[in-house]
Amino acid sequence: MTTLREYLDSTSCEEKLKDLIELVSDQAIPIRKAFISNQEYVDSENIYGEKQIALDKWSNEHLMKTFRESKLVKEAASEEEAEVVEFPDAEASYAVTIDPLDGSSLVQVNLAVGTIVGVYEKSVMEEGRNLKAAFYMLYGPLTVLGLTVREGVHFFALNEENEYVMTQKDVRIPEGKLYASGALKRDWLPEHQRFIEYLEKEGYKLRYSGSFVADVHQYLKYGGVFSYPAYRGKETGKLRLLFEANPMGFIVSEAGGRISDGKKNLLEIRPEKLDHRIPIYVGSKGIIEKMENEYDIEV
Ligand code: AHM
Ligand code: MG
C-alpha cells in the first residue's frame, strides 16, 4: 500500500512542503491521545464567543508548538487565536491556517471531529483558490487524512504502525443526494428555505452531524449539498472563511465539486479579516450550479 511519504514523493511538491504536510498530519497521533484527559469545558471562550473544551486549547497549543519547532512556518492563523502568530525564526515562508479541533461540541458525545489545515505560499489573508495544499485529519473510528496538493484528492488512514496508507486515490465527488443545513429552521431566509424544500421534494436525504469536517468528508464520498446559510440574526452565517470554508472547499473543488457563498465561487473571495464568516454551500457541482442559477440566495 502507498504510504503518505511515497505518495508525496510522487508529486511535484517542494521538499519543505512535503515535510510540513507529513509533520502536521502526524500530530493526529498525540491529538487523539489527548482526547481522554481533555474532555471538559474550560472557563474561556474563543474570539467568536464560543465555549472551548480543553481539547480545543490543547490542540491549538500543540500545533502552534509544532509549527514553531519545525521552522517551516512563518505565520499561522488559528480559529482559537485572535491574531496571526508569527514565527520569525522560520527557515521556510509557509503561512498556515488551522481549525485545531472542528466539531468540538461533539467531543463529549464521542462523535467524529477533526483538524482542518490550509497552506499558503506566504500569507494567510489570501483567496482560497491560492492554497498550495489543504488537508484534514478526521478522528473517527479510523484516523483519516483527506489531502490535496493541487494534484487530486486522496484519502489515507493510520494503520497499526501509526503510518498513513492510501485508502482511496483520486477521489471524485459524485452527484449524490444528501443534504444538510445548519441554523434554526425558523431563522432560515426565504430563498434558502425554498432551496431546501426543492431538495426534500427531489428525495435528498438529511445528514447533518454538527462537525463540518466529518460532514464534508461524508459529502465527498456520497455527494449532495451541505450548507450553513446566512440566517435571520446572523447574515454572515456561522462558519469561517479562513479556517473552515477555504480548505474544505478547496478539497471538494479539487475532487470535482464546488463551494459557493450562495451566489459565487467562495474560493475567489478575498478575506477582509481573520474572523471573516461566510454562508456556505458545498458539495456536488451540478446541484450547486443549479442553486446559483435558479435561486436568489441571500448573502
Ligand atoms: P467549531 O469549530 O467550534 O466546532 O464550530 C464549527 C462547527 C462545525 O463543525 C459545524 O458544522 C457547526 O459548527 C455546527 O454548528 P451548530 O451547532 O450550529 O449546528
Ligand atoms: Mg470549526
Query: Could you identify the atom of ligand 1 that is nearest to the CA of residue 211?
Result: 9
pTM of the model: 0.97
Identify the weakest region by mean pLDDT among 41-55, 94-108, 146-160, 222-236.
41-55
Cβ within 8 Å of residue 145, ≥6 positions away: 4, 25, 28, 135, 136, 137, 138, 155, 156, 157, 158, 164
Q: How far apart are CA 96 and CA 290, in angstroms?
A: 33
pLDDT of residue 43: 80
Residue of minimum CA distance from atom 14 in ligand 1? 210
Pairwise CA distance, residues 97 & 29, whole Å = 20
User: 299: pLDDT confidence band, cut at 50, 70 and 90?
Assistant: confident
pLDDT of 49 over the 90 cut? no
Cell of 262: 450562495
Pocket test for ligand 1, best of 239, 246, 282 (most atoms within 8 A of CB): 239
Work out which ligand 1 atom sits closest to the CA atom of 228. Answer: 11
Instruction: Please report the pLDDT score of residue 44 as a whole number.
Output: 81
What is the reported pLDDT for 236?
96
Can you tell me the mean pLDDT for 249-256?
Answer: 98
Percent of the chain with pLDDT over 90: 94
How remote is the CA of residue 61 from the centroid of ligand 2, in Å?
Answer: 16
CB 135 within 8 A of CB 26: no
Instruction: Please name which of 238, 193, 246, 194 lies closest in space to residue 216, comparing C-alpha atoms.
Output: 246
Q: Which atom of ligand 1 is nearest to the CA of 48?
A: 3
Contacts of 57 (CB under 8 A, 6+ apart): 38, 42, 44, 80
Q: What are the CA-CA distances from residue 258 to residues 43, 131, 244, 254, 289 (Å)?
A: 38, 15, 14, 9, 8
Q: Can you list the domains of the chain with their CATH numbers?
A: 4-168 (3.30.540.10), 178-294 (3.40.190.80)
Residue 103 CA: which ligand 1 atom is closest?
Answer: 4
Average pLDDT across the chain, whole number: 97
Radius of gyration of the chain (CA): 18
Question: For residues 190 and 183, is the Cβ–Cβ distance under 8 A?
Answer: no
Q: Which residues line ligand 1 (CB under 6 A)?
A: 50, 79, 99, 102-105, 182, 210-212, 228, 238
Element (H, E) at 220: helix 212-222
C-alpha 299 – ligand 1 centre gap (Å): 19
**pLDDT per residue over 229-247, tens digit each?**
999 999 999 999 999 999 9
Residue type, 223: G
Neighbours of ion ligand 2 (CB under 5 A): 99, 102
CA of 211 to the centre of ligand 1 (A): 6
Cα-to-centroid distance, 12 and ligand 1 (Å): 34
